[in-house]
Structure 1
Amino acid sequence: MYFRTQIPISKSSIPIDYNSNILSIGSCFAENMADKLDYFKFQNATNPFGIIFNPLSIEKLFQRVCEKHFFQEKDVFFHNERWHSFEVHSDLSNSDREELLETLNKAITQTYNKLQEATHIIITYGTSWVYRSIENDQIVANCHKVPQKQFCKALLVVDTIQKSIQTTIDLIQVLNPNVKFIFTVSPVRHIKDGFAENQLSKSHLFTALHQVLKTNNSHFMAQDYFPSYEIMMDELRDYRFYSEDMLHPNKVAIDYIWHKFSENYISEDGLLTMQEIEDIQKSLHHRSFNPESEQHQKFLAKLQQKIKLLEKKQPSIKF
């Protein structure tokens, strides 16, 4: 007897292993998954421009990177004693304009290089709601606490999202035709938009994304869809799996979704290496009651031996 529904997930035909080079882009849930990739020592880079929620802003950043369209003074503005760009997250904002521009353009160069060598790109879309600047009619990735009267809020239609996702794919494939894509929709609920509005927003993402996948898969392109939103809504449909704000998945939920991802998207050899790393990570966080004891010194020596053996077997792994 089963007391919950389980989301069927097929084994990926484009699995990740320890030779893979991964770029993760998108909403805050992208960072949750990237934290797991980092913990297990995969070669991963995450959100070089900070958390980005909507498809058009993600597309715009990939266009900048792929075309090496560097930021200029006209692309930044001063507000609340800091310099910002409407195209990136406020984590990159800076009190010095030149430092901000240097950081942004360094991110373009580094991401360009990463894209050229990437084997997998994981893109997590968060919302179809966007804010458009009234002054220049441009969609912003982050409002940076600029007064809301300077923006108009709009819901992206399915056709616009679909074209944006396809353009993002096309831009990347010009630079790296062999890269594999994994798409997902964030399970984080954007209730500030409204309950019905959040569902509508997610629905637009699903419809557009699955239409792109359907079209591209008929051409045998290396693309997958991971159902993180569906797992949260159907398998974990209980508030005990949410953090205090009742909107974001908590640690238990993130661990579970990661487990579902890893068992279907990580290669068999990769899973074995993950187990070795898990044992080492737990040992590294072990606290001894008597750090100076002979027993603990033997434990540390054995641990260092394990680390050296693993790093020799997989040179990309560093502790």
Structure 2
Amino acid sequence: MELQTRLKIPQHPQPISYASEILLMGSCFAGHMGGKLSSYQFRNTLNPFGTLFHPRGISHLLERAKAGRYFTTEDCFFHMERWHCHEVHSDLSHANREEMLKGLNNRLEATGDHLKKISHLVITLGTAWGYVRRESGQWVANCHKVPQREFDKVLSSPEDIRQDLKKALDLVFEANPGVSVIFTISPVRHIRDGFVENQRSKSHLFVALHELLEVYGDRGVTYFPAYELMMDELRDYRFYETDMLHPNALAVDYIWERFRSACILPSEYPIMARVEEIQRGLNHRPFHPESEAYTAFKKDLEEKMSSLKREYPFMSFDTGL
């Protein structure tokens, strides 16, 4: 008896391996996948400009990075005792404007260089709702708790989103013709917009993205159905956090397993198993740290780490031993 609707996910034409370098950008769900990749010691960079939800914000930052168009004082504003930039997340805000600009432009340079050499770009779209600052007409990726009355809320049309994503892809392929792009749509529902409004938003993302895939599918642009896995295979509130909106750890683990099966080269699974064994060992907390048994355990663990590092010098374990 089959008690679950199962999605058939095609194998990725250019699967991720330990030789890959990955850039992930987008919503908080990108953070979940980036965290898993980091745990398994894949080389990846996650959201260099913080969490981004709207396609236009992602496109603007890719354009900046590709062109090397630095942030300036005109891109900054002061609010609640900190300097902010509407194009990036609040995590990058700072009490000192010059320090903030220095940090942003260092990230900009690094991302521009990274675009030229990555093998995979993973973009997770969160919403089609965006905000325009009334005073300047500037499209913003983050409001930074500026009062809502200073913005107009806008629902981007599928055509607007398609154009934003097309611009982003064209820039990426110009910088790196061989890159493989994986799109996902975040399974997190933005209920603050309203239930119906959330559905409209996700619908616009789906329409725009799948129209784009029809054009760019033969260039290594693919879609991973994270949203569909959450809505169809994990159709139960036991897979949600207490807010009933965000996937919990069990759901993230499940979607990661499906991502691994579809998008990671099977020959890398034994290496992943070795990494996982080391991570479990590093998380182990002994009852008797001074015992001979634990001393032998630490020595064995260090030998396993050294062996992996000889094969993959880029791996770095937070030992704490």
How does the TM-score come out when normalised to structure 1?
0.98
Measured after TM superposition, the shift of residue 216 of structure 1 is: 1.4
Partner of 2:63: 63
For 2:288, which of 283, 287, 290 is the aligned residue?
290
Tell me the distance in 2 between the aligned counterparts of 1:287 and 1:94: 37
Deviations 1:225-275 (A, max 9, x none): 000000000011111111111111000000100010011111012222111
Deviations 1:13-32 (A, max 9, x none): 11000010000000011011
Tell me the distance in 2 between the aligned counterparts of 1:287 and 1:72: 48
Partner of 1:160: 160
User: Any runs of at least 4 consecutive aligned residues in structure 1 with deviations exceeding 2 A, and if so which?
Assistant: none
Tell me the distance in 1 between the aligned counterparts of 2:228 and 2:205: 13
The AA in structure 1 aligned to 2:269 is L
Partner of 2:232: 234
The AA in structure 2 aligned to 1:85 is C
Tell me the distance in 1 between the aligned counterparts of 2:216 and 2:283: 45
Tell me the distance in 2 between the aligned counterparts of 1:96 and 1:102: 10
Tell me the distance in 2 between the aligned counterparts of 1:313 and 1:88: 37
The AA in structure 1 aligned to 2:26 is G
Deviations 1:270-299 (A, max 9, x none): 222111100110011111121111111111
Partner of 1:244: 242
Partner of 2:271: 273
Tell me the distance in 2 between the aligned counterparts of 1:193 and 1:172: 31
Structure 1: stretches of 5+ with no match in the other structure: none
Q: Given the superposition, is the C-alpha separation of residues 238 and 230 from structure 1 closer, same or farther in structure 2, using an over 3 Å criterion?
A: same
Helix, strand or coil at the partner of 1:184: strand
Partner of 2:17: 17
Tell me the distance in 2 between the aligned counterparts of 1:50 and 1:287: 33
Tell me the distance in 2 between the aligned counterparts of 1:265 and 1:297: 38
Helix, strand or coil at the partner of 1:288: coil
Partner of 2:185: 185
Tell me the distance in 2 between the aligned counterparts of 1:190 and 1:9: 26
| 1:206 matched to 2:219 | no
CA RMSD of aligned residues (A): 0.8
Deviations 1:108-140 (A, max 9, x none): 001111111100000000000001111121210
Tell me the distance in 2 between the aligned counterparts of 1:94 and 1:318: 29
Tell me the distance in 2 between the aligned counterparts of 1:148 and 1:288: 51
Partner of 2:80: 80
Tell me the distance in 2 between the aligned counterparts of 1:173 and 1:10: 23
Tell me the distance in 2 between the aligned counterparts of 1:179 and 1:207: 23
The AA in structure 2 aligned to 1:316 is F
How does the TM-score come out when normalised to structure 2?
0.97
For 2:257, which of 233, 256, 259 is the aligned residue?
259
Partner of 1:314: 312
Partner of 2:115: 115
The AA in structure 2 aligned to 1:14 is Q
Residues 47-58 of structure 1: pairs in structure 2 closer than 5 A: 47-58=47-58
Tell me the distance in 2 between the aligned counterparts of 1:69 and 1:35: 29
Tell me the distance in 1 between the aligned counterparts of 2:75 and 2:285: 49
The AA in structure 2 aligned to 1:102 is K
Helix, strand or coil at the partner of 2:244: coil
Do 1:262 and 1:271's aligned partners in 2 also have CA atoms closer than 8 Å? no
Deviations 1:50-86 (A, max 9, x none): 0000001110011110000000101100011100000
Tell me the distance in 2 between the aligned counterparts of 1:198 and 1:179: 31
| 1:169 matched to 2:169 | yes
Name the % identity: 48
Tell me the distance in 2 between the aligned counterparts of 1:247 and 1:139: 26
Helix, strand or coil at the partner of 2:30: helix
Measured after TM superposition, the shift of residue 170 of structure 1 is: 0.4
Structure 2: stretches of 5+ with no match in the other structure: none
Aligned residues: 317
The AA in structure 2 aligned to 1:290 is H
The AA in structure 1 aligned to 2:189 is R
Partner of 1:38: 38
The AA in structure 1 aligned to 2:113 is N
